[in-house]
Amino acid sequence: MKRNKSNLFKDIKTLFSKWGFSKQGLFNNSKGEWYLFAQIFLILLHLIPPLPKIKYLAFSIKTFCIIIGLAISILGLFTVIKALIDLGENLTPLPYPMNKSNLIKNYSYQNTRHPLYKGILFISFGICIFSLSLIHLFLLISLAYILRIKAIKEEEMLKIKFPEYKIYIKEVPAIIKQIKYLDWRS
């Protein structure tokens, strides 16, 4: 039993190393570790109860918001799953490409440069509508801010590693085409 725990710890350490995590990076954000931690923190905050709690709302309006919110969140979940599958071995939680990675420009990355972030924002937006919560609206806005910073940092590194990424940026929207803040194509 001890051997299995030791192997598991070793496998996790190898995976984190493959992704680019280091002790130094945890302290100086050398590979965008702090953006990832902020992203995880904001996602976890979505579990808090709605504030302010709306008690007196017509049943039909509340039901409509629940259905729409769930539908948007489910769409976001499917978007995230598809993006993860499409990335495959190239997936890293940090905004730096791994050494032995490939540039993915097809499947869900054909119409959006950051479909994983798009899906996360859809889930957050769905929760916001579902819960009719101002605090969740604030979390959505904060998450959009962090994901934009993380995506821009990621794109800087992708341009260096993959020169063809410069063309891809001009042709494909960043996160959400209809929202200028989330599509910074030049």
Q: Which domain holds residue 183?
A: 58-186
* pTM metric for this prediction: 0.86
149 located within any domain: yes
Structural contact between residues 131 and 148, judged by C-beta atoms closer than 8 angstroms: no
185 located within any domain: yes
46 located within any domain: no
Instruction: For residue range 13-35, list pLDDT tens digits in order.
Output: 677 776 666 777 777 776 778 88
| DSSP per residue, 51-111 | SS---S--HHHHHHHHHHHHHHHHHHHHHHHHHHHHHGGG--SSSS--TT-----SGGGTT
Residue 184 to residues 29, 151, 170, 175, 181, Cα–Cα distance (Å): 24, 10, 9, 9, 7
The tally of domains found in the chain comes to 1
48 located within any domain: no
42 located within any domain: no
Q: Which of 162, 147, 152 is nearest to 105 (CA)?
A: 162
49 located within any domain: no
* Cα distance between residue 110 and residue 99, in whole Å: 23
Q: How many helices (H) and strands (E) does the chain have?
A: 7, 0
3-state secondary structure of 1: coil
Q: Could you tell me which residues come within 8 angstroms of residue 146 by beta carbon, excluding any fewer than 6 positions away?
A: 35, 38, 39, 42
Q: Give pLDDT < 70 ranges for the chain.
A: 1-3, 5-6, 13, 18-21, 30, 186
50 located within any domain: no
- pLDDT score of 1: 47
- pLDDT score of 2: 52
- pLDDT score of 118: 97
3-state secondary structure of 6: helix
1 located within any domain: no
CATH value at residue 95: 1.20.120.1630
